[in-house]
C-alpha cells in the first residue's frame, strides 16, 4: 500500500506545531505580497509626481502662483511638492519680519524643508522593515518546522520493529513543506526590500537635491529683496 504524498494530504496530516508554522509562514507571505503591491504603487506615483513637479518648477512658473495652487484646500501635495510648500511658506513668513538677515530667512526655510523631507522619507520607508524581517526570518522558521517534523518521524520510527522508507517518507515530506513555504515567503520579500530600498534612496537623494537647489533660489530672492530695501 502506497502512502498518499499529495501536498494537501501532507499538510492536513502534519503535526499541530508544523501546521501552525505553515499557517504563520502563509500569513507572512500574504502580508508581504500585500505590502509589495502597495509599495510598488506608492513609489511609482512618487516618481511620476516628482517628475511632473520638477518640469513645472523649472519651466519658469511663478513661485507665488505655484504655491497658491499647491496650498489650496482641494489639492493634496506629496513628496517634492510638500517640501516646496514648507520651504516657500516659511520663507514668505520670515522675510516679512523686520531686521532679519537674508541668510537667517533662508536657514529657517531650509530647516522647515528638512523636517518635511524627513517625514516624506518616513512615508516612503513605511513597512519596508516588515519585508526585511520576513525575508531574514522565514527560512529559519520553516527550518524549525522541518526539524520538528523530522524529529517526530524518527521518534515514531523508533517504536516500530521494521523500518521502511515508506513509513518515514510522509513525515519527512510534510516537514520539508515547511521549509519550502519559508523560502516562498522569504525570496519575494528580500527581492522587494532590496528594490524598494534602492528606489526610496534615489527618491530621497532627488528630494535632497531639489531642497538644495530651491534653497539657492530662495537665497537669491532674499538678497534681491534686501538690495531693493536698501535702495529705497
pLDDT > 70: what percent of the chain? Answer: 83
pLDDT (tens digit per residue) in 85-111: 999 999 888 887 777 787 888 899 899
What is the DSSP track for 130-178? HHHHHHHHHHHHHHHHHHHHHHHHHHHHHT-SS--HHHHHHHHHHHHHH
Element (H, E) at 54: helix 16-57
Q: Are residues 166 and 2 in contact, defined by beta-carbon separation less than 8 angstroms?
A: yes
- Is pLDDT above 60 for 1? no
- Residues contacting residue 150 through CB under 8 Å, at least 6 positions apart: 171, 172, 175
- Is pLDDT above 50 for 48? yes
If phi > 0 it is left, if psi is from -120 to 50 it is alpha, else beta; for residue 60 that is left
What pLDDT was estimated at residue 209? Answer: 93
- Is pLDDT above 70 for 46? yes
Dihedrals φ, ψ of 58, to 5°? -90, 5
pLDDT (tens digit per residue) in 54-94: 998 888 778 888 888 888 888 888 889 999 999 999 988 88
- Is pLDDT above 80 for 53? yes
pLDDT (tens digit per residue) in 119-169: 999 999 989 999 999 999 999 998 888 888 777 777 766 666 665 666 666
Amino acid at each position: 500500500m502506497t502512502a498518499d504524498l499529495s501536498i494537501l494530504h501532507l499538510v492536513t496530516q502534519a503535526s499541530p506545531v508544523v501546521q501552525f508554522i505553515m499557517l504563520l509562514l502563509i500569513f507572512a507571505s500574504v502580508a508581504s505580497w500585500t505590502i509589495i503591491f502597495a509599495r510598488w504603487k506608492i513609489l511609482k506615483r512618487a516618481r511620476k509626481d516628482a517628475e511632473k513637479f520638477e518640469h513645472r518648477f523649472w519651466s519658469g512658473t511663478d513661485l507665488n502662483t505655484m504655491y497658491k495652487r499647491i496650498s489650496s484646500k482641494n489639492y493634496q501635495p506629496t513628496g517634492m511638492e510638500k517640501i516646496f510648500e514648507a520651504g516657500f511658506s516659511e520663507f514668505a513668513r520670515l522675510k516679512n519680519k523686520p531686521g532679519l538677515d537674508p541668510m537667517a530667512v533662508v536657514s529657517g526655510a531650509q530647516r522647515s524643508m528638512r523636517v518635511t523631507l524627513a517625514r516624506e522619507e518616513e512615508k516612503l520607508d513605511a513597512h519596508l522593515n516588515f519585508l526585511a524581517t520576513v525575508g531574514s526570518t522565514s527560512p529559519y522558521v520553516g527550518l524549525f518546522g522541518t526539524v520538528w517534523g523530522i524529529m517526530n518521524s524518527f521518534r515514531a520510527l523508533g517504536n516500530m520493529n521494521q523500518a521502511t522508507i515508506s513509513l518515514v517518507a510522509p513525515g519527512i515530506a510534510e516537514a520539508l513543506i515547511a521549509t519550502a513555504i519559508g523560502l516562498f515567503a522569504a525570496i519575494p520579500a528580500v527581492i522587494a526590500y532590496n528594490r524598494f530600498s534602492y528606489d526610496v534612496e534615489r527618491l530621497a537623494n532627488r528630494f535632497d537635491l531639489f531642497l538644495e537647489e530651491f534653497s539657492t533660489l530662495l537665497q537669491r530672492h532674499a538678497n534681491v529683496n534686501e538690495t531693493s530695501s536698501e535702495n529705497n
